[in-house]
Amino acid sequence: MGAPFLANSQAGFFYPFNLLLSWLETSRAINWTIVLHIFLAASGAYVFARSTQGVRLSIAASCLAAISFGLGGYLGTQIEHVNQLQGLAWIGWMFLAYEFSTRKNAESRIQNLAWIPLAILITFQLLAGHTQSVFITLVGLGCYAVWQLIESIFAARPNGWRSYALRTTHYLLPLLLAVLVAIGLSAIQLLPTLELTRNSARSGGLPANLAVSFSLDPRLLGHALLPDYEGALPPAVNSRRSSRWLR
């Protein structure tokens, strides 16, 4: 019977870089997009680290940030999931675009449309076709915006509710506008995907056990710092480690 191609957002049919590389042989296009997006991820982390307002890092520290993000395990494990790599590669540039929008708004408010670059980058993420990557990035941007807002309130000690409202608007409105415009720009992909979802096995929702599958178990947080916490590693790995220590 076949399956929808355009309506499946994970295919990334409307993602601009997929369209640009569509004339290449499939294997070569995949290789090029992997290299390109690793470069985008690393360069975005570097530029953001060098440009962050109030915490501008040194060249060496910014290079470390670029290497850690662009060539680290987080992105490295996504190389076989091309659409995830494509979406996550824009994280650094999106944080930089948010910084740009708040700096410009301080000078002339929202009318200068300084949030448009952020809207375009969110659109790229949506068109890349991995919803979880968009969710992760927007939650991170939201936390970053709230942190900036709280920091500015404690630094300036504004008087009256109008001052608080202006500061809240200054830090949160650019992100909200960018998300709304990005949804509109991505409608060419989101609407067919929504129709496909309504006609799929997930249209009636998921059972609780399936909905929480692959979620983070709080009991496993210790493994992030100590992989062998409570015997997480296989016995063969433990035995090899023990033999090394015995030597």
182 band by pLDDT with thresholds 50, 70 and 90: very high
Q: Are 92 and 41 in contact (CB under 8 A)?
A: yes
Q: Which two tokens stand for residue 223?
A: 């493994």
pLDDT tens digit sequence for 80-111: 889 999 999 999 999 999 998 887 554 444 55
Count Cβ atoms within 10 A of the Cβ of residue 92 and give its class: 0-12 exposed, 13-18 middle, 19 or more buried.
Answer: buried
pLDDT reading at 220 higher than 50: yes
- Look at residue 239 in the predicted model and tell me its pLDDT: 41
Q: pTM (2 decimals)? A: 0.81
Alpha helices in the chain (DSSP H): 16-20, 26-51, 59-70, 73-76, 82-88, 91-108, 116-128, 131-156, 161-185, 187-198, 208-211, 235-246
Give which of 131, 55, 137 is closest to 93, Cα–Cα.
137
In which band, very low, low, confident or very high, does the pLDDT at 229 lie, cut at 50, 70 and 90?
A: low
What is the model's pLDDT at position 244? 39
In whole numbers, what is the pLDDT of the chain averaged over residues?
83
Backbone angles phi, psi at 27, to 5 degrees: -65, -40
